[in-house]
Structure 1
Amino acid sequence: MSTAIIIPARYGSSRLPGKPMLGILGTSMLERVWRIASATTGCSRVVISTEDQRIVEHAKSFGAEAVLTPESCRNGTERTFATIEAANIDADAVINFQGDAVLTPPWVIQSMIDEFDASDSDFDLVTPATQLTEEAVEALRESKLVNPASGTTVVFDSHHNALYFSKTILPYFRSSGFTSVYRHIGLYGYRVPSLERYVSLPPSPLEQTEGLEQLRALEHGMKVRVVIVDYRGRTHASVDAAEDITIAEEIIRREGELVEANKA
């Protein structure tokens, strides 16, 4: 089946205006994300979607396809759906790859594309997760003492269909010994009809309680496939505030570029 990658990139961020155009080691966040998306195989198109002409022009400067979508889009999911019509995307599925996810390895996106092509592909959404070591679980516990909303975990059935996502650490450790914990990575791929259904649904009670949009899908009986990925020693992080740019630069200096400019 055909899969397109859509990169929502909003200029009017309240915390970091023009965030997608901010530089990380001399290259904008948007170009970095576009390079990552373009490094995948089996993808029919990569389209940047924005509400601001300045982002469109910036995208064109490094050879990317970009379209304008309504400023009224409330989040990346709605902008992804609007892009299907705005860019005349003829694909069976789309992946929402946020324009600030500069440290996401291309093989994580690839795993989502591959899952759509798998024989057992009777699901509505696909999303990645990574298995945590015992040390990583303890680090997450420590993080939640300071910021309880940091990090999302997921549990799933024997077919890797999600049972629940939570800001608490799942499962609860009733007895001693280590049980596998999987940290959710906030990327989503949708079959186009499933995305259309999702954006038509009202926010659900658990979604509003936990602040997790994927719970809307579960509460309305949609099947969410969890694909397990390995970061291969790379650091998982995102750019949400100005200070995160320095952190991202330090990680790239230490671990190297995910995708070189001439490999996009």
Structure 2
Amino acid sequence: MTDMTLHQHQPAEVVQLPSIIQTAAKDMNGAMTVANGIVGTSFVPQHFRGKPEEAAAAILYGATLGFDPLTSLQQLYSIGGKPALYSRAMVAVVLSKGHRIWTIEDRPDSVTVAGQRKGSDHVEQITWTIERAKTAGYTSNANYKKDPHAMLYARASGDVARRIAPDALLGLAYSAEELQLGEGTTSTQQVTADQFVKPEPADQAPAPQETGEAPSDAQLRKMFAVLKENGLEGRDEALGYVSETIGRGIQSRNELTRQEVSTVLDSFTPAPEETA
């Protein structure tokens, strides 16, 4: 058997694989070009500023949902390596595909959202109440406490969107709000606040990314004690909340400034009317 015969009988997949890799590489190069051009602008959320690789990944993922680059960076959120969309963005994607989602009831303590897949007679209806949120363990979470009604709507609308059109959302398992509330973590992923504040080796500790005095150990202990009291015991949960509060993504407590720690602590201070 000649070499020519061997080549003629090779599986088609063997010769197609390089083209798949080339296409992926081309897409990544294009996304990197766009990311490098916009990550330093005010149109990009703080957690993508100066991070072209993360921005490029978000742009690529967003493209699969039909988003342009700026929309991808504005709407996509990642907590603990899990990509997610805020519920309103999930609803927008589902509506853009011709499906229907509408609100049936909208009260301070109860939200009911319904949805119908295009071409189907079945109506999916989801209700989230304060009592249901308590059972799920959300009411002790700081993100829930900031705006419980908005969180109820987020859960109801996100659930409906995923149920009627999982294909439109590429099977996204969670909304950003759910990840912020602690969903999608397992016992092996949970890290206590005490572990989160454990100092890193000096030669690996990154300097704060913003000009400012480093926080004291006492400030950090107080911040993580408050986070723990408010249900943010997991490392991913704590990092997600802190990043959202200070307006930029962080991977370690060593990146925080004294002012940023104060900002996080202030976010838990009750409004004047709540102290009466």
TM-score by shorter chain over 0.5: no
Q: TM-score, normalised by structure 1?
A: 0.26
Q: TM-score, normalised by structure 2?
A: 0.25
Q: Which gives a bigger RCO, structure 1 or 2 (Cα 8 Å, sep 6+)?
A: 1
Please identify which structure carries the higher helix content: 2
Please identify which structure carries the higher strand content: 1
